[in-house]
A and B are shown apart, each in its own frame.
Chain A
Amino acid sequence: MDRIYMDHAATTPVRPEVIEAMLPAYKETFGNASSVYSWGREAQKALDDARAKTAAVLGAEFNEIIFTGGGSEADNLAIKGTAWKNRHKGKHIITSAVEHHAVLDTVKWLETQGFEATFLSVDEDGMLDPQQVRDAIREDTILITVMHGNNEMGSIMPVEEIADIAREKGVLFHTDAVQTVGSLPIDVKEMGMDMLSLSAHKFYGPKGVGALYVRKGVRLDSLIHGGAQERNRRAGTEDVPAIIGLAEALERADEERDKVIPEITRLRDRLLKGLETIPETRVNGHRKKRLPNNVNVCFRYIEGESLLLNLDMMGIAASSGSACTSGSLEPSHVLLAMGLSHEIAHGSLRLTLGRETTENEVDYVLEQVPAVVNRLREMSPLYHQ
């Protein structure tokens, strides 16, 4: 069997059609979109088309899309940009304890700059109760940022309800939708979003390019100064090929959603069900309100890095929230926030499926994982049959 890639939450391969769409902007229409001559106008036209496509898929207006250098930058721009703009109004920011580090560390940095933050806890399914958000809002709250789909355990947060609360209280709301854009239908107006981050490499587009939707009327300061690009909100010559790639990938993901997502969900459920038959296994994240491609389980008595290395030997690429894989030596902040002990969080395995995942691959994984878990348990001083 060939190698099996089951880490689509980390990144995805670029679709061949997307590469095709990008190539002319490297070779022929390579101009700087700010230039007045024909090369510049061609680049500007390609940029405009990409922005129109992106806006259309998200239900946004043309001018509400800011292209960025990825999901992390979109999160930073939303949070620092609005915090800075509104610092005279208030100093308080609300977020959750299970955000991606692009949000978490940005909010923590703002704390060192005189802002105050509340990190809301989640329940054992990793869900945030909107009532907690309501209770946390203060006179001086300027921003609420809560992610849409969790990149580790897959729970989908009630962002619409939180957005309603934010609007009622006159507080800005941002969501990191990096894991949901491309797989869940997104309509920013219907969902009531003020700001929403996305990243192309999570939906078969290129790496290093993302976008921030900013509702008309929401003002933010730029992080990068030095040019009038992106309506003064992100200086720098636009990466036109990458932006074309983002738009093309987004449009294709949107078009094929109804065909692809039910199949991924079916395979996901098959995988989850199979893994659950391994004794002393815990499923992490909400069972129903869950990213269609996410499987996250903890196997008791074993450690994640040795699990990943063993799976790699069998040709399977996966991910873990174990301390030993993190470099920081702390197990996943997400699993700990859900109330898991260090020891159990240590043995976590995340498998994330993609549009090219097959039934055979799922079956192979279901064959290999129990064997590897057994082998490591036999070796574990914590395991007593």
Chain B
Amino acid sequence: MYSDKVMDHFQNPRNVGEITNADGVGEEGNVRCGDIMKLWIKVEDGVIVDAKFKTFGCGAAIATSSMITEMVIGKTLDEAEEISNTAVAEALDGLPPVKMHCSNLAADALQKAIDDYKANKQSA
């Protein structure tokens, strides 16, 4: 039911782990199924230079987490904020309809990580 790309990212997830001195951290829970994703970002001069994740969730949740880290690294914060859950799903050659909600996890965790970075910066 999953595309080859989804299976690839599921089997060999990119950027798994934590960033110890991250500039922004976002954690998102999926209210529909109870799954959780945590995303760490490192930012230099307004550009995301590193991203890592940990996810408790289904195959689609792990694959979208992995994909979004690949998509954001090298992007400016403004560009990164533009990444929608459908864009992540498209980058994975689509998700089964019942699994579309899983991609919200990644998109929302990213938004939260960016918000966290901005809040940190303001208070600094």
Identify B56's interface contact among A303, A313, A331, CB under 8 A: A303
Identify B55's interface contact among A313, A329, A381, CB under 8 A: A381
Q: Check if B38 sits within 8 Å of A381, measured CB to CB.
A: yes
Cα separation A325 to B35 with both chains bound (whole Å): 12
Q: Check if A306 sits within 8 Å of B54, measured CB to CB.
A: no
Q: Does B121 contact A (CB under 8 A)?
A: no
Q: Check if A313 sits within 8 Å of B11, measured CB to CB.
A: yes
- Known A313-B11, A378-B16, A381-B36; judge A324-B58 contact (CB<8 A): yes
Cα separation A2 to B50 with both chains bound (whole Å): 41
Residues from chain B with a CB closer than 8 A to the CB of A323 are 33-34
Identify A303's interface contact among B11, B27, B35, B98, CB under 8 A: B35
Closest partner residue, chain A, to B62 (CB atom)? A306
Residues from chain A with a CB closer than 8 A to the CB of B33 are 323-324, 329
Interface set, chain A 86-111, CB cutoff 8 A to B: none
Smallest beta-carbon distance A176→chain B, Å: 27
- Known A303-B35, A378-B16, A379-B13; judge A327-B98 contact (CB<8 A): yes
Q: Check if B37 sits within 8 Å of A306, measured CB to CB.
A: no
Interface set, chain B 27-42, CB cutoff 8 A to A: 27, 32-38
Q: Does B94 contact A (CB under 8 A)?
A: no
Identify B32's interface contact among A302, A309, A322, A329, CB under 8 A: A329
Closest partner residue, chain B, to A323 (CB atom)? B33
Interface of A, secondary structure class, is: loop
Q: Check if A309 sits within 8 Å of B10, measured CB to CB.
A: yes
**Number of A residues contacting the other chain (C-beta, 8 Å)?**
22
Closest partner residue, chain A, to B99 (CB atom)? A324
Q: Does A167 contact B (CB under 8 A)?
A: no
Identify A379's interface contact among B35, B58, B62, B98, CB under 8 A: B62
Q: Does A342 contact B (CB under 8 A)?
A: yes
Interface set, chain B 68-115, CB cutoff 8 A to A: 98, 101-102
Residues from chain A with a CB closer than 8 A to the CB of B13 are 379
Number of inter-chain CB pairs below 8 Å: 60
Residues from chain A with a CB closer than 8 A to the CB of B98 are 327, 329
Q: Check if A379 sits within 8 Å of B54, measured CB to CB.
A: yes
The size class of the interface chain B forms with chain A is 20 to 34
Identify A381's interface contact among B54, B59, B101, CB under 8 A: B54
Residue from A305, A322, A346, A378 having most chain B Cβ neighbours under 10 A:
A305
Identify A382's interface contact among B56, B59, B61, B102, CB under 8 A: B56
Residues from chain B with a CB closer than 8 A to the CB of A342 are 34
Interface set, chain A 357-385, CB cutoff 8 A to B: 378-382
- Known A346-B34, A381-B36, A381-B37; judge A324-B10 contact (CB<8 A): no
Q: Does A301 contact B (CB under 8 A)?
A: yes
Residues from chain B with a CB closer than 8 A to the CB of A324 are 33, 35, 57-61, 102
Smallest beta-carbon distance A341→chain B, Å: 9
Identify A380's interface contact among B7, B10, B54, B102, CB under 8 A: B54
Closest partner residue, chain A, to B39 (CB atom)? A381
Residues from chain A with a CB closer than 8 A to the CB of B56 are 301-303, 346, 380-382
Smallest beta-carbon distance B111→chain A, Å: 17
Chain A positions 44 through 81: 1 when the CB is less than 8 Å from some CB of chain B, otherwise 0: 00000000000000000000000000000000000000
Can you give 23 contacting A-B residue pairs, CB < 8 Å? A301-B56, A303-B56, A303-B61, A305-B58, A306-B61, A306-B62, A309-B59, A323-B34, A324-B35, A324-B58, A327-B98, A329-B32, A329-B101, A331-B34, A342-B34, A343-B34, A379-B16, A380-B54, A380-B56, A381-B37, A381-B38, A381-B55, A381-B56
Interface residues of A (CB under 8 A from B): 301-303, 305-306, 309, 313, 322-325, 327, 329, 331, 342-343, 346, 378-382
**8 further A-B pairs in the complex, CB-CB below 8 A; given A303-B56, A323-B33:** A306-B61, A346-B35, A379-B16, A379-B62, A380-B54, A380-B56, A381-B55, A381-B56
